[in-house]
Amino acid sequence: MNDKSELVVRKANAADAAVLLALLATLKTESTTFEVTGPTVDEATQAQQINQISQSQIQVLLVATIDDQIVGLATILPTHDASIGEVGVAVLKTHWHQGIGTELMYSALDWAAESSVYTVITLTVQNVNQFAKQLYDRIGFTTIRELTVKNSAGQEVAAVEMQLAVK
């Protein structure tokens, strides 16, 4: 990011649907720590889902833009426990280590604290993703358990589940 570029974090809107689908496809190829779950959808369905999410108190979809180009996203989605939401953050590899993931995380946590029904936010991070793990530690997440997960390449890898109280 150069000095004249402006980072903006905002809620996604229906007009972002096509770009978000392309972003998700790219993110899947850049790391084994990122995985898209659920069925593949078309642009119209994606736009409809974004509209539904934008009205929700149990989920959010944020995008990070630089010079109006989407370079990352953050989500908070419901878990099996109505008081706990799960956060996920992903940034294009060309924009790693520029503070974008940090801004997305803080924006997602602000939404959780101010607009959601959640009292706790959880996440799972693979141990190989040390930069993300350090970020979550700095923010105040605490490890609640160690576990093994499958990465997007289908390999079993060590991970930790972390939580942060937001209310």
Cα separation, 35 vs 114, whole angstroms: 28
Instruction: Output the pLDDT for position 149.
Output: 95
Q: Give the model confidence (pLDDT) of 77-112 as tens digits.
A: 999 999 999 999 999 999 999 999 999 999 999 999
| Mean pLDDT, rounded, of the chain | 94
Confidence of residue 5 (pLDDT cuts 50, 70, 90): confident
Instruction: Output the pLDDT for position 162.
Output: 98
* Beta bridge partner(s), residue 64: 9, 72
Q: Give the model confidence (pLDDT) of 118-153 as tens digits.
A: 999 999 999 999 999 999 999 999 999 999 999 888
Tokens, residue 4: 């004249």
Instruction: Output the pLDDT for position 3.
Output: 63
Cα separation, 60 vs 52, whole angstroms: 10
Instruction: Output the pLDDT for position 40.
Output: 81
Instruction: Output the pLDDT for position 133.
Output: 95
**Residue 17 contacts residue 50 (beta carbons within 8 Å):** yes
Q: Give the model confidence (pLDDT) of 21-65 as tens digits.
A: 999 999 989 988 877 777 789 999 999 999 999 999 899 999 999
Instruction: Output the pLDDT for position 129.
Output: 93
**Residue 102 contacts residue 84 (beta carbons within 8 Å):** no
Superfamily of domain 7-118: Gcn5-related N-acetyltransferase (GNAT) (3.40.630.30)
Q: What are the structural domain ranges in the chain?
A: 7-118
